[in-house]
């Protein structure tokens, strides 16, 4: 039962953090296309790791994380006002290259010459 509540709280935090990121005015954050990839919350809700990825690459994600760290007090206060939790976890922002990686995989898959499977040619 507790695991279900933790999962729901994690999703709530991710949803609210995404909304809060849209409201920030730091140019390190607003100049890039940021996405929250994953959120991990400890069982006692004391820490929350937020994995952030930028479409422009890992260097932009690292720059955005610096902006997020400087705004973490504001973000945490906003999170506390939006979510009715007894304790708001300390936010730890981690840069990730998952968007860049998936875009590279997609580009590679699009360059492959794969023939369509035709049901009429298969007589089994």
Instruction: Quick: pLDDT tens for 62-84.
Output: 999 999 999 999 999 999 999 98
Number of domains making up the chain = 1
Q: Mean pLDDT in runs of 10 for the chain (124 residues)?
A: 80 94 88 90 92 88 92 93 89 87 82 68 55
CATH of the domain at 57: 3.30.300.20
- d(Cα 79, Cα 88) in Å, to the nearest integer? 7
- Residue 119 lies inside a defined structural domain of this protein: no
- 3-state class of 95 per DSSP? strand
- Domain around 57: 2-110
- Residue 12 lies inside a defined structural domain of this protein: yes
């Amino acid at each position: 039962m507790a695991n279900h509540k933790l999962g729901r709280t994690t999703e709530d935090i991710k949803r609210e953090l995404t909304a809060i990121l849209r409201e920030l005015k730091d140019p390190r954050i607003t100049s890039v296309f940021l996405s929250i990839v994953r959120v991990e919350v400890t069982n006692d809700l004391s820490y929350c790791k937020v994995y952030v990825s930028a479409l422009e690459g890992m260097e932009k994600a690292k720059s955005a994380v610096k902006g997020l760290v400087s705004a973490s007090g504001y973000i945490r206060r906003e999170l506390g006002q939006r979510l009715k939790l007894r304790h708001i976890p300390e936010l730890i922002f981690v840069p990730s290259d998952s968007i860049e990686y998936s875009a590279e995989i997609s580009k590679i898959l699009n360059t492959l010459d794969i023939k369509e499977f035709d049901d009429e040619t298969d007589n089994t």
